[in-house]
Structure 1
Amino acid sequence: MPQKVRIALDAMGGDDGASVVIPGAAISLSRHSNSEFLIFGDQAKIEPELAKHPALQKVSKIIHTDVAVSGDDKPSQALRRGRKTSSMWLAIDAVKKGEADVAVSAGNTGALMAMGRLNLRTLPGIDRPALAAVWPTLRGDSVVLDLGASIGGDAQHLVALAVMGSAMASVLFNLPRPTVGLLNIGEEEVKGHEEIREAAELLRAMNSPQLHYIGFVEGNGIGEGRADVIVSEGFTGNVALKAAEGTARQMFAFLREAITSSWLARIGYLFARGAFRKLRDKLDPNKSNGAVLLGLKGVVVKSHGGTNAEGFAYAVDVGYDMARNDLLTKINQMLHRDGSALVQAPTAQEAVS
């Protein structure tokens, strides 16, 4: 039997807390029977939900705390009120102590980032963590980062993002050498900020056997699946994510309006229901839920706060895959290939001289 994967859950995070977290964990357990769970939160709220799922109950342990991070808390407020006592902090702390292999939370993103960074610290050579998630495309799925963990970044930061994103893609998609593109306003080498152009030169100079840099990718190239990994600093990445989510909702609204516009359209919909159902499933954000905080000395997964149980299960699945396939070791190997840190690559001038 495969080695157990121990998963720490923040049962109080997200819009619905334990009522989504517990059934979501049960769904994930049905797909990964070698999972075990440490569940942090209010025992009085967790136990009734856990009783509905006997299989999950057998492999779970509740650690009680009635302190929860609010979705409205600023990171500084969350650290003052919830450091060392909140369900979010305790789930992360279980990873630090080696009691769990991964922590999963649907709670406040800023607070999760701050607590993860303060408690776990960052890997050598990484100055700031990044949010990386799976993005559905026309050619399959891609890993996109940073989706808003931090704003801005120099060329070395973008190179580090490329390395970490490649490690995640190799784990998720079983790719020995994922393709990597830098998100930019054009594909021409002269386009974009100086930091992006310098990062491109560094990635070309690396000639890494574990990632294949293909050049700049424009915004429309994300959905086209131009690369296995798309790299951007957090501001641009978050704007791209929100624009894509808004476009998907707009498209469904237009489709709904068109389908109900006439009796003939309604009849046509009856014949095309299967196709519409497939489209809905493909674009369902719950089925690509689970962003990984890359760059920490431990695996932490962020779920959408408003997701349902099925969506939370996908976030737990992502955490399971990252832990089962030893994501941290892969990142470290790629960062320090041949004993030298990739993020300490030559400057752009040295790379082209």
Structure 2
Amino acid sequence: VRVTLTGKLKPWVAAKDIILDVLRQMTVKGGVGKIVEYAGPGVATLSVPERATITNMGAELGATTSIFPSDEVTRAFLKAQGREEVYVPLASDPDAVYDEEYTVDLDNLVPLAAMPHMPDNVKPVSEIGEIKVNQCCIGSCTNSSYYDMMKVAAILKGKHVHPDVSLTISPGSMQVFNMLAKNGALSDIIAAGARILECACGPCIGMGQSPESAGVSLRTFNRNFEGRSGTQDAQIYLVSPEVAAASALTGVLTDPRTLGEAPEIQMPEHFDINDSMIIPPAEDPSTVEVRRGPNIKPFPLGHELEDSYAGKIVLKTEDNITTDHILPAGSKLLPYRSNIPYYSNYC
């Protein structure tokens, strides 16, 4: 499936809005059994973190995978990360044929939000209106890059979070966290009244920061399935970091275009590199003893499926089954993730 990107994003409109628009067009089932390839002149206008936000949420389309061409923007990012030598140019053939084609006009895109309880339940923020917000959570694997965090810091600088809103920030990595601390952006975020969480999934998988009952939570995450946050009746909206930061200041869902001039963030020419916490693979793996605690069990080895199976049906599901229907997240079960035999009882 080819998604052609034309034009260039306007101020206050983000990569998150691109993938939300694709979800609006294709739906959460539209990518099942398909590979989504992004193409067109709009690709060159997007940084690698922005492309990562878009491909990250390919899972919400049901896609097998998503891909961007590898170009000079890719090379510059790898160079800044000290990895230019691994750069490989990648592009589809000029005469490639596609089963389906979609277009996203970046020039006309506006800030969007996915409303409860599906990532494809998408409307413009301005159309949803100024609903009261209880919580804003910025980060997760989808929107926690240095680029995203610097935009948030610029929006929050010199201001303070609305007294009725709890704002959480989850930097995406030690590198991001460290660079924010060194350049003062972390101080701006903390001074604005944000809670700084660890570099982890956290609230996205219901591990802490569950919203209040029936509370409205704006999240820059990738999924807003019912109950996933740890609060069954919470109203979870998926938004860009710009929308989340703006709304954290006002206390209501806010179109960031109302804030005036948008901050312009440049990608750094050099990222801080610190691999001191990474343990490289052993030269001779056979000499390594794997030590397992009482709750860590060996990975069950698979075997070839039989031609047929007989059994009793114990559950019939509704439509649009989510990952949380299949394998629940949340604080009750996630501590058993390393114990697959036990976890399978809840699968």
* More strand by percentage: 1
With normalisation by structure 1, the TM-score equals: 0.25
TM-score with structure 2 setting the length: 0.26
